[in-house]
């Protein structure tokens, strides 16, 4: 496994299969990272174990070679995120990718209301994937339809939230940490959070800090990966 600790101590075998912990930067898609890894090591068989939105940063597990067969097992692990929900405004994408489409007064919102709302999300529930998402419909991602003004709703999916902590409140910003089942859209949680408060909300910042037992603190950036391995493969 390629981590921050093993980066200078380990000779990888990308064909036989490696697991790479990457700290994805802002504005890059998960596929962008896969493409860069593939190009750096000149191997076609590269994939990631769980999409991370372009507007989010943090831990992305990338597998190469024969380890791509293990992607499903990594994908099924619980995820932990830290981020900021901003109340009082909404966007069509539920995050900062699109422009604001509504604004509401939030002067009556209290700390107790925010904490109680967070508690209401704990446990099992059902969530409809956002129209701006990579979920497929007739072979195309939903966001491809949404950007053309066509909104297609998918069936609700079961999710489970085991932890939802409010870390700091400085209205309109609410800083949180959440641990949830795979397939949970934190953007949808933010939007639903605003609905429950009655003032709207959107996800203004998101960072994936953990996938199962794997921690973002052990990850490396794609630039660090390229600097270490691209030169070696070209030598």
The mean per-residue pLDDT over the stretch 74-83 comes to 97
| Residue that is written with structure tokens 């794997």 in the block | 214
**Percent of the chain at pLDDT exceeding 70:** 88
Task: Quickly count: other Cβ atoms within 10 Å of residue 166's Cβ.
Answer: 17
Q: Which residues contact 114 (CB under 8 A, 6 or more apart)?
A: 166, 169, 174, 197
From 13, 23, 53, 112, the catalytic residue: 53
Name the CATH superfamily, with its identifier, for domain 18-76+213-234.
Pseudouridine synthase (3.30.2350.10)
Is the distance from CB of 173 to CB of 204 less than 8 angstroms?
yes
d(CA 76, CA 88): 34
Angle at 93 between CA 158 and CA 140, to 5 degrees: 70
DSSP strand pairing (201-211 vs 57-64): parallel
The predicted-structure confidence for 42-58, as pLDDT tens digits, reads as follows 999 999 998 898 899 99
Beta strands of 121-200 (E only): which ranges?
A: 123-127, 136-137, 140-141, 157-170, 173-180
- pLDDT for residue 155: 76
pLDDT 10s digits, 133-172: 554 434 554 455 445 555 556 678 999 999 999 999 999 9
53 is catalytic: yes
Return the bridge partners of 101, or none.
Answer: none
CATH number of 79-211: 3.30.2350.10
Per-residue confidence (pLDDT) for residue 137, from 0 to 100: 39
Domain definitions of the chain by residue range:
18-76+213-234, 79-211
Q: Two tokens at 220?
A: 């490396």
Task: Locate 67 and state its tokens.
Answer: 């380890």
pTM of the model: 0.89
- pLDDT score for 147: 55
Pairing of strands 46-48, 57-64: antiparallel
């Amino acid at each position: 496994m390629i981590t921050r600790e093993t980066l200078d101590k380990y000779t990888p075998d990308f064909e036989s299969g490696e697991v790479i912990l990457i700290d994805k930067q802002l504005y890059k898609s998960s596929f962008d990272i896969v493409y860069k890894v593939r190009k750096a090591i000149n191997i076609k068989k590269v994939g990631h174990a769980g999409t991370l939105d372009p507007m989010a940063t943090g831990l992305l597990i990338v597998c190469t070679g024969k380890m791509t067969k293990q992607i499903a097992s990594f994908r099924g692990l619980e995820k932990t995120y830290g981020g900021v929900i901003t109340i009082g405004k909404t966007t069509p994408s539920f995050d900062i990718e699109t422009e604001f489409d509504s604004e509401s007064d939030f002067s009556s919102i209290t700390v107790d209301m925010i904490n109680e709302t967070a508690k209401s999300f704990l446990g099992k529930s059902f969530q409809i994937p956002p129209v701006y998402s990579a979920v497929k419909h007739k072979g195309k991602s939903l966001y491809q339809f949404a950007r053309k003004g066509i909104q297609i709703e998918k069936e609700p999916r079961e999710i489970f939230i085991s932890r939802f902590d409010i870390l700091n409140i400085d209205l309109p910003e609410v800083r949180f940490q959440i641990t949830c089942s795979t397939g949970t859209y934190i953007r949808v949680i933010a939007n639903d959070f605003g609905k429950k408060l009655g003032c709207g909300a959107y996800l203004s910042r998101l960072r994936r800090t953990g996938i199962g037992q794997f921690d973002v603190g052990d990850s490396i950036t794609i630039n660090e990966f390229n600097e270490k391995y691209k030169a070696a493969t070209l030598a």
